[in-house]
Structure 1
């Protein structure tokens, strides 16, 4: 890949935008949606939960895939001035979001799909802080890469 400034700016721009979309979404989920689940318990819980998981999948799939793809590119090729350490940090942050989702969040949602369970709900809310922290840190790393590539010291 060339060191064309437009290619570099596009790569970093797409990466940063996709990560920050995920950051905003995970904070809304953490502070509003997941805590609000407890107030939606009742006869329609399964339908509410099914709608949440279906729509959340539609919302997050594209930006999260772009984050992963651009992160992989940044690990293999970085714009001039962007150190490997920042690309590695972005990769670690992204990997944490995937690991927590696969190992904890998806199993919690599978259990909640069968009926509301306060203990599972509490675990989901508590462990989602790990994804919230990882995505937020990834957003900071993405902005640091943009600043470094622009020649601005963070």
Structure 2
């Protein structure tokens, strides 16, 4: 049971963070003074990396562990769905978000920021779905 609770906590930390980034942080990038853009973006990416790495790593480790050691009542397929949701956040981050941030690290670009905001919805959806799956696993786990 502890495994699914730790998983739930890590995933929901990430769910909350990705929603704040989606509806507040990324849209506010447009308001940053262009002369301070690079410094602001560098600061953002450095702090965001430290903020998300721990919980995201815990999510990954607990996803892997749940594929092998599940509490009674938690079906294997649900652990697989949790893993797919987690893998989707990694794929979107590496395939879409990181390239956008690399371009934004050089210079502000409205088109790149639009792409970042638009494609971050995939990550937001994947983490939110993973959060719902985590709740289901906690509810199904036998005490």
Alpha-carbon offset, residue 77 of structure 1: 1.6
Residue of structure 1 in register with 2:123 after alignment = 131
Residue of structure 2 in register with 1:49 after alignment = 41
Cα distance in 2 between the residues matched to 1:101 and 1:139: 17
Q: Is the 8 A contact 1:41 1:116 kept in 2?
A: no
Q: Does 1:13 align with 2:5?
A: yes
Which of the pair has the greater relative contact order for Cα pairs under 8 Å at 6+ separation? 2
Alpha-carbon offset, residue 47 of structure 1: 0.3
Q: Does 1:27 align with 2:19?
A: yes
Cα distance in 1 between the residues matched to 2:6 and 2:126: 18
Give the 4+ runs in structure 1 shifted more than 3 A. Answer: none
Instruction: Give me the TM-score of the superposition, normalised by structure 2.
Output: 0.98
Residue of structure 2 in register with 1:67 after alignment = 59
Cα distance in 2 between the residues matched to 1:75 and 1:129: 27
Cα distance in 2 between the residues matched to 1:74 and 1:122: 36
The structure with the largest alpha-carbon Rg is: 1
Cα RMSD between the aligned structures?
0.9
Gaps in structure 2 of 5+ consecutive residues? none
Q: Is the 8 A contact 1:108 1:120 kept in 2?
A: yes
Q: Does 1:77 align with 2:69?
A: yes
Residue of structure 2 in register with 1:5 after alignment = none
Residue of structure 2 in register with 1:144 after alignment = 136
Structure holding more helix per residue: 2
Q: Is the 8 A contact 2:71 2:142 kept in 1?
A: no
Alpha-carbon offset, residue 33 of structure 1: 0.2
Number of residue pairs aligned between Structure 1 and Structure 2? 143
Gaps in structure 1 of 5+ consecutive residues? 1-8
Instruction: Tell which deviates more after alignment, 51-60 or 33-42.
Output: 33-42
Q: Is the 8 A contact 2:60 2:86 kept in 1?
A: yes
